[in-house]
A and B are shown apart, each in its own frame.
Chain A
Amino acid sequence: MSALISEQQGRVLTLTLNRPEARNALNNSLLTGLADALEAAAGDPGVGAVVITGQPRFFAAGADLREMASRGLADTLNDPRPLIWQRLDNFPKPLIAAVNGYALGAGCELVLLCDLVIAGDNASFGLPEITLGLMPGAGGTQRLIRTVGKALASRMVLSGEAISAARAQEAGLVAEVHPAALTLEYAQRLAAKIAGHAPLALQAAKQSLRQSQESGLALGLKQERTLFTLLAATDDRREGIAAFLEKRSPNFTGR
């Protein structure tokens, strides 16, 4: 059985982390497989959005500690992982995490990298790296604090304690909480809705949302306006507005 199962339904690609024997620990090979799959999806006009999910009782319970233990300072300095994470982060289309059970350490960092998180009521999120004498190394300290604010981010990173799905929703880490047995289905439904919108508009909107994390408000507003203007040159914008005015569903072409 492959460690990453890939299934497509309509315009939604679902990638399922499938290393149950290791509680979906994200080793280099699995992360690379994920990056490869996302890059293929980025170039595939038939894919409008991607859902990443795991197993019923764990999304991903961290990095592969055996792999990590074997790396000293020199190896860690030249670790290929940051580049793999960079590849994941470069995915230009909407990326949705459907999380049941534990999303810990690298698993939580993968969730934070996604645009949108749908959680099961049994989900928990945490960065327990500190309890192992290390710290988050793939965006955990950076994306979490931008998502939930200083108080909760510091509490989670410094204590290593996980939070529940309900708490994660209150804090803004999770968009929706559902009964665990429906998490994936509802995430795919939302993904299908998103994937039905104009691809270039989605890409521009995602880019603009991402840029808000990088720049100040004035620059962000300027960049937003540039992207907004760019869309004025697309067929899909004309189609979208025309369909709305004519009270019919739009037929987007991705141009």
Chain B
Amino acid sequence: MENLIVCDVQQGVMTLTLNRPERLNSFNDAMHRQLAGFLTQAERDDSIRCLLITGAGRGFCAGQDLNDRNVDPAGDAPDLGYSVEAFYNPLVRRLARLPKPVIAAVNGVAAGAGATLALGCDMVIAARSASFVMAFSKLGLIPDCGGTWFLPRVAGRARAMGLALTGGKLSAEQAAEWGMIWQLVEDADLHDTSIAQARHFATQPTYGLGLIKQALLAAEHNTLDQQLDVERDYQRLAGRSADYREGVAAFLAKRTPQFRGK
């Protein structure tokens, strides 16, 4: 089997490299299936405490591979809902539910579902030469892979509308200036910076980080009252974690805590 995704697990970090560089790492069904397999591993393996997603070659991900879309102008309309339902939606849901941080290291162009996938990750680190292209509208489509949900939340409604309607290209620099991503780094530094961040996360209280992530996502649709209940419940759970005890003990003993992620 061709390695459409390269998986590397080291020091608590699972790095998934989208690996169809000749096609700017655009998605086809086989690539989705391989990615889903590695996600299952990331979900089940407690020793994996951070997920890092990046692209091979000069691009991050060009979204759906249009070569797979043989649209016959005379034939029946394709059912794009199928690939959204079968592949993109489960992917977005699983990344959102994964109780550990997910970092996107955007090494180059991220277009279509590649752009919305990246912007939906918990933390986005982009190379200066990278860009986000909401290419959907130019083909008559809508931003999928979570795009219509994430865009207004990371960019604000006015910018989300502008980006989605024009289908324009957003430089990583502009994305950083607009606060849509966590960090902009020089191209040569992307690899080291993102690996260092991921490895740092892998030494942190993973259970608590997972709760933070779930709480922030829950806040997107909760009222203040509901969210205060979520905070009470998650804090109750966090307070029972081994890492919380370790954190307090280390603080009182003035030593570095040794978190196990539980």
CB within 8 Å of B: which residues of A?
Answer: 178-179, 181-182
Contacts and interface: CB of A to CB of B under 8 A. Distances in A.
Nearest to A180: B237
A181 B238 CA distance: 11
A181 B234 CA distance: 10
A179 B236 CA distance: 10
A181 B236 CA distance: 10
B186 interface: no
A178 B233 CA distance: 8
Among A178, A179, A181, the most chain B Cβ lie within 10 Å of the Cβ of: A179
8 contacts: A178-B233, A179-B233, A179-B234, A179-B237, A181-B237, A182-B233, A182-B236, A182-B237
Interface of B: 233-234, 236-237
Contacts of B234: 179
Nearest to B236: A182
Contacts of A178: 233
Q: Closest 8 interchain pairs by CB?
A: A179-B233, A181-B237, A182-B233, A178-B233, A179-B237, A182-B236, A179-B234, A182-B237
Nearest to B211: A179
A179 B233 CA distance: 7
B232 to A, nearest CB: 10
B96 to A, nearest CB: 13
A98 to B, nearest CB: 15
Contacts of B237: 179, 181-182
A182 B234 CA distance: 9
B69 to A, nearest CB: 30
A138 to B, nearest CB: 33
Contacts of B233: 178-179, 182
A179 B214 CA distance: 10
A114 to B, nearest CB: 22
Contacts of A182: 233, 236-237
A99 to B, nearest CB: 17
A72 B234 CA distance: 50
Nearest to B234: A179
Nearest to B229: A178
A10 to B, nearest CB: 20
Nearest to B218: A121
A182 B229 CA distance: 12
A179 B97 CA distance: 13
A72 to B, nearest CB: 40
A209 to B, nearest CB: 26
Nearest to A122: B97
Nearest to A181: B237
Contacts of A179: 233-234, 237
Nearest to B240: A181
Given A181-B237, A182-B233, 6 more contacts: A178-B233, A179-B233, A179-B234, A179-B237, A182-B236, A182-B237
B226 to A, nearest CB: 10
A178 B234 CA distance: 10
B205 to A, nearest CB: 16
B262 to A, nearest CB: 12
A182 B233 CA distance: 8
A141 B237 CA distance: 37
A6 B148 CA distance: 49
B227 to A, nearest CB: 13
A119 to B, nearest CB: 14
